[in-house]
């Protein structure tokens, strides 16, 4: 099955300020997600059942790239800092339109 990647406006805003190297790292992770979105760790959410995260190191901080699988689409939601312990996760997922 082919998956189509889509980004939320918040994610698009987040990656604007990243360096070329960081964008390349994120792009490689997005390529892996597009091949098989179920390969990374699942997160628990009140809004969606298929929420996943990818561990990254962005701007010298441990971060997580969060995405939702709504077949055949994969919605890239945001990059969250690990130290914040996913406090903003539900707020960011509220921006994703339900199918």
Query: pLDDT at residue 2 above 90?
Result: no
- Please provide the DSSP assignment of 17-29 as one string: TS-HHHHHHHHHH
Express each pLDDT in 16-34 by its tens digit: 989 999 999 999 999 999 9
Residue 32's Cβ-side half-sphere holds a number of Cα atoms within 13 Å equal to 15
User: What domains does the chain contain, in order, with CATH numbers?
Assistant: 4-93 (3.30.2310.20)
Query: Do residues 8 and 92 lie in contact, with contact meaning Cβ atoms separated by under 8 Å?
Result: yes
The predicted pLDDT at position 1 comes to 78
Express each pLDDT in 50-76 by its tens digit: 999 999 998 888 999 999 999 999 999
**Cβ contacts of residue 16 below 8 Å, gap of 6+?**
none
Please tell me the pTM assigned to this model: 0.93
Count of C-beta atoms within a 10 Å radius of residue 37: 19
Query: pLDDT at residue 11 above 90?
Result: yes
């Amino acid at each position: 099955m082919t998956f189509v990647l889509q980004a939320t406006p918040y994610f698009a805003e987040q990656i604007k300020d990243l360096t070329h190297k960081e964008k390349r790292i994120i792009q490689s992770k997005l390529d892996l997600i597009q091949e098989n979105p179920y390969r990374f760790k699942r997160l628990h959410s009140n809004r969606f059942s298929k929420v996943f995260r990818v561990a990254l190191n962005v701007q010298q901080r441990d971060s997580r790239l969060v995405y939702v699988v709504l077949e055949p689409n994969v919605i890239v939601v945001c990059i969250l800092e690990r130290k914040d312990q996913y406090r903003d996760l539900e707020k960011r997922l509220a921006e994703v339109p339900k199918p």
